[in-house]
Amino acid sequence: MKLYEQFAEELSALIRSGQLRAGERLPSVREARARRGVSASTVFMAYQLLERDGLVHARPQSGFYVSAQISAGTAAPASTAPRAEASEVAISELVFEVLRAARSDGIAPLGSAFPGPELFPLPQLAKATFAGLRGQDPQTIVDNLSPGNPRLREQIAMRYRLDGVQVQADEIVITNGALEALNAALQVLTRPGDTVVIESPAFYAALQAIERLKLKALEVHTDPVAGIDLDALREALSRHRVAACWLMPGFQNPLGSLMPEANKRALVALLAEHAVPLIEDDVYAELFFDRQRPRPAKASDSAGGVLHCGSFSKSLAPGYRLGWIAAGRYSQQVQRLTLMTTMSAALPAQMAVLNYLETGAYDRHLRRLRTALRARMEAALATIEASFPQGTHVSRPRGGYFLWLALPPGGDAMALHRVALRERIGIAPGQIFSPDHRFSHCIRINCGHSGSIVLPALQRLGALTHALLREST
């Protein structure tokens, strides 16, 4: 064990045993160096390790603080270990019940899938739509049929290449949101009865698609920090005939986990070895908080077996329903399926986003958006720490706008969902993120809306959780 690991372990033990308590500031790097006689970098690396594990968090210009009852590393406790066998899925009813509740008027949207609409440049997009449509030669309408507007596909391909991902425009199909892309990919890759690997917990839309297409879901344990467990995946692939994987290596929904790049490369290699295609759902790609956009698994795909799905819905234009898929060697099949089912993404949405991208405004907007989302998440985390009972665990994602909370023993997410709804607060109960309604003690919180909505709602949720736990004992 390295020196910094040893130091981190000591601190970790102090935190877990309650001797270092929530909200306490860790010694500054300078203090710790002086007190322990170790180098500054040892201290710093130890603190980073603790941060990675969700035990402490940094506050800009202030230092590292203990995160109360927080342990991203254990947000998915052992009791929720996935079943080892592939199973049929019947989750849709429950998902619809939850989504319907979340859409009702006047419900605080902590159960919603979209960040606050005020974060998006909607007036500028309206102008971009007009500018794009006005200049349109009527004869070119067919250019926008699937696979979509050639200039828009070129813009998207260029963004891949700037990140060092080799994607050509003719591999890309523009879709009605990433949801169409994901569903089309799954449909192209599978036949009824096939087995599909998903994360545990998984995005409910994947579960719904698997249910709808009469497939079987094979859940693989997924770490709240580092994403899918590659050993567990290797084991699953050796034991099952798998038709496809549907995974979110970047800012997984609901965990917020981000696979390290080395893991992504290993994932692609492992799947290539088993000739299993990967549907890479990467709709939160642009919402990173660190310095650089994490490269997708697609970056190391040389065999065309990764179908990378992206979207402008979470990063630019909610409601415009504009997504895409870089479908590798399945590109033509996906294109044909979309031609047969929706024919194309809508012309105004394509023109709007194309026009907006071509003005260069997108990256400026993204910088503002990331800053705003990060601030909102930090405020939400502080409020959760202050409001929820001891023993609550929460994830600490490095991008996106979802938090994953594991309630203390006795906490029931559906019960919390119901009492919260009565107080006009929506949440996403953990039950909708697995085929068999596990994660019954977990909730997903959308912290991407304005603090004036989210923070009071979180305080109230904390109080409701306290009350529920009292009742259950």
Residues that bind a copy of itself (CB under 8 A): 92, 96, 99, 103, 112, 114, 117-118, 120, 122-123, 125-127, 129-130, 133-134, 136, 138-139, 141-142, 144-145, 176-177, 179-180, 183, 192, 205, 208-209, 212, 318-322, 336-337, 339-349, 352
- Cβ proximity to a copy of itself: between 117 and 409 the closer is 117
For residue 39, what are the CA distances in angstroms to 7, 11, 53? 11, 16, 22
Q: C-beta of 94: minimal distance to a copy of itself in Å?
A: 12
- Cβ proximity to a copy of itself: between 183 and 434 the closer is 183
- Structure-token match 């813009």, residue found: 155
Paired sense of beta strands 278-281 and 244-247, if any: parallel
Give yes or no for a contact between 50 and 16, defined as CB atoms under 8 angstroms apart. no
- Cβ proximity to a copy of itself: between 56 and 347 the closer is 347
Give yes or no for a contact between 220 and 233, defined as CB atoms under 8 angstroms apart. yes
Q: C-beta of 209: minimal distance to a copy of itself in Å?
A: 7
Give yes or no for a contact between 432 and 391, defined as CB atoms under 8 angstroms apart. no
Q: Long-range pairs for 262-266 at CB < 8 Å and ≥24 separation?
A: 263/226, 263/227, 263/230, 264/295, 264/296, 264/297, 264/299, 264/300, 265/297, 265/300, 266/230
- Cβ proximity to a copy of itself: between 119 and 236 the closer is 119
Give yes or no for a contact between 354 and 149, defined as CB atoms under 8 angstroms apart. yes
Q: C-beta of 360: minimal distance to a copy of itself in Å?
A: 21
Q: C-beta of 322: minimal distance to a copy of itself in Å?
A: 7
Upper half-sphere CA count for residue 181 (Cβ side, 13 Å): 34
Q: C-beta of 98: minimal distance to a copy of itself in Å?
A: 12
- Name the token pair of 391: 């023993």
- Name the token pair of 353: 């986003």
Q: C-beta of 336: minimal distance to a copy of itself in Å?
A: 6
- Cβ proximity to a copy of itself: between 180 and 199 the closer is 180
- Cβ proximity to a copy of itself: between 160 and 320 the closer is 320
- Cβ proximity to a copy of itself: between 389 and 435 the closer is 435
* C-beta atoms surrounding 21 within 10 Å: 11
Q: C-beta of 102: minimal distance to a copy of itself in Å?
A: 9
